[in-house]
Chain A
Amino acid sequence: MSMDVWRKAWALVGKDLALEWRTRESFLVMLLFGAIVGAVLGIAFELRVDGAGDVAPGALWVALAFSGVLGLGRSMAREQEDGCLEGLMLAPVDGSCVYLAKAAANALSMLGVGLVLLPLFSVLFGVNLLRPGLLVVLLLGAAGLSGVGTLLSTMVPHTRAREALLPVLLLPAVVPLVIGAVRATAGVASGQSLSAVAAWLRLMAAFDLVLGAAACLLYACVTEG
């Protein structure tokens, strides 16, 4: 890809980030929802498990996936307003560039939510999640959630079920990613090095690459007509 494509993609990412920065609309909702999922899971499981810390990695990724669904829906709803998406499609950039930019912007807001949820979940579940290795896990997880979610969220506004369809399609598809993320998070949180959980990180990276490439190729089929 030429420099030009990256420059255009970066301009589109900048547009989404500037919009988000000025309204802070969907980031705050995502963040609050992630925290609520954490609190609900904490309350639901605390009385039944010995170590609440054992549930923390799973709870974190459930919260991230659910708040991600919320953010993807918001981000797409915003493009629907006043024909923004049509404008994007008319812009002199090709479809894969738009896809990459949208996916990157969505991944960045999920990453932001994840960074705030780490200390929060550390406190709620009494486990130390403030480890640098978790940044890698968060990055791979956000990329995968957003890579598949961006494609699906472009589709759902044109269906009768609307936003209700997004979690139904996205959550089963990201099961392998969540398995890898939970295992890697549990490993790093218990003090293991990144190389000790390399197999799970490779699984996540494979998911990101394979499904990201497929979504990028398929994006044009979803936006036309």
Chain B
Amino acid sequence: MTWRDREPVALIGLSALTMELAIAAALIYAPTERVMGPVQRILYFHVPAAAMAFVAFGVTFGASVVYLATSHPVSDAVACAAAEVGELLAALVLLTGMLWARAAWNTWWTWDPRLTTMLVLWLIYAGYLLVRRSVEDEARRARYAAVVGILGFADVPIVVMSIRWWRTIHPAVFDEKGVHMEPRMLVALLVSLVAFALLFVLLLVVRVRLSKLRDEVESLRRSVL
């Protein structure tokens, strides 16, 4: 085992620390929103999770391209890990969005474009993970998964475009005119964004490491039998 195969202790510590900071910033430091009240604080987790979900699906796409070009097993492990973490983050986005929507719009769900996009992306990558589960042969699984990972991501801009043309009732915090936010709220959001980015990297590293260890156990088992 090399140093790279060890538990990423420093990253775990750093990620935990920033997440604590982000929680403190979101719940204590940031002022209460005048109209919506405390429920608005969901935003500090909702928005970073959404941003990192998109990053995760992008990583799956990149790693899938690398896999098809090189057939390197680590790129397949990275694609898988990023899709799993992205799916988790997308589920968080949907759940926090529903909690907020219940309070702000008085409904758990509406067919708002951004909600719909996240749901469609969640379904596309659920299919990706299903493909991974249902192919026995390793090389074929990696290849099929890469194909779905690339096709799914090619779909993302069209999904986003198609729903933009619907009327949106989703609040826009950022637009062409700049940021519509109180400075302390923005600080809390940025801290939380950093925390989620670190959490994403941590989960990715841990999951890739798990894949490698699993492969190692498998090859050890084969050499013994």
Number of interface residues of B (CB under 8 A): 31
Specify which chain B residues have a CB less than 8 angstroms from the CB of A173 in the assembled complex. 124, 127, 151-152, 155
Asked if A123 CB lies within 8 Å of chain B CBs, one says no
Is the beta-carbon distance between A159 and B158 smaller than 8 angstroms? no
Is the beta-carbon distance between B162 and A176 smaller than 8 angstroms? yes
Query: A159-B135, A168-B130 provided; 13 other pairs, C-beta below 8 A?
Result: A148-B151, A151-B151, A159-B131, A172-B120, A173-B151, A175-B120, A176-B163, A179-B162, A207-B158, A210-B154, A221-B68, A222-B144, A224-B143
Q: How far is the CA of A173 from the CA of B144 in the complex (A)?
A: 16
Is the beta-carbon distance between A221 and B147 smaller than 8 angstroms? yes
Q: Which of A180-225 contact B (CB under 8 A)?
A: 180, 199, 203, 206-207, 210-211, 214-215, 218, 221-222, 224-225
Asked if A169 CB lies within 8 Å of chain B CBs, one says yes
Closest residue of chain B to A170 (Cβ to Cβ) is B127
Q: Which residues of B approach A to under 8 Å, CB–CB? A: 68, 120, 123-124, 126-127, 130-131, 133-136, 139-140, 143-144, 146-148, 150-152, 154-155, 158-159, 161-163, 165-166
Asked if A48 CB lies within 8 Å of chain B CBs, one says no
Specify which chain A residues have a CB less than 8 angstroms from the CB of B163 in the assembled complex. 176, 179
Question: Whole-angstrom distance from the CB of A204 to the nearest CB of chain B?
Answer: 9
Is the beta-carbon distance between B134 and A161 smaller than 8 angstroms? yes
Question: Whole-angstrom distance from the CB of A166 to the nearest CB of chain B?
Answer: 10
Given A159-B135, A159-B144, CB of A203 within 8 Å of CB of B154:
no
Interface string of A51-73 (1 = CB under 8 A from B): 00000000000000000000000
Is the beta-carbon distance between A222 and B152 smaller than 8 angstroms? no
Is the beta-carbon distance between A176 and B134 smaller than 8 angstroms? no
Specify which chain B residues have a CB less than 8 angstroms from the CB of A215 in the assembled complex. 151
Q: Which residues of A approach B to under 8 Å, CB–CB? A: 148, 151-152, 155, 158-161, 165, 168-169, 172-173, 175-176, 179-180, 199, 203, 206-207, 210-211, 214-215, 218, 221-222, 224-225
Specify which chain B residues have a CB less than 8 angstroms from the CB of A158 in the assembled complex. 135, 140, 144
Q: How far is the CA of A224 from the CA of B140 in the complex (A)?
A: 9
Question: Whole-angstrom distance from the CB of B82 to the nearest CB of chain A?
Answer: 18
Specify which chain B residues have a CB less than 8 angstroms from the CB of A218 in the assembled complex. 68, 147, 150-151
Question: Whole-angstrom distance from the CB of B144 to the nearest CB of chain A?
Answer: 5
Question: Whole-angstrom distance from the CB of A177 to the nearest CB of chain B?
Answer: 8
Is the beta-carbon distance between B158 and A206 smaller than 8 angstroms? yes
Closest residue of chain A to B152 (Cβ to Cβ) is A173
Given A179-B162, A203-B165, CB of A160 within 8 Å of CB of B134:
yes
Is the beta-carbon distance between A176 and B155 smaller than 8 angstroms? yes
Closest residue of chain B to A200 (Cβ to Cβ) is B165
Question: Whole-angstrom distance from the CB of B90 to the nearest CB of chain A?
Answer: 12
Closest residue of chain A to B159 (Cβ to Cβ) is A176
Is the beta-carbon distance between B144 and A155 smaller than 8 angstroms? yes
Q: How far is the CA of A203 from the CA of B161 in the complex (A)?
A: 8
Is the beta-carbon distance between B148 and A169 smaller than 8 angstroms? yes
Q: How far is the CA of A160 from the CA of B136 in the complex (A)?
A: 8
Q: How far is the CA of A176 from the CA of B123 in the complex (A)?
A: 13
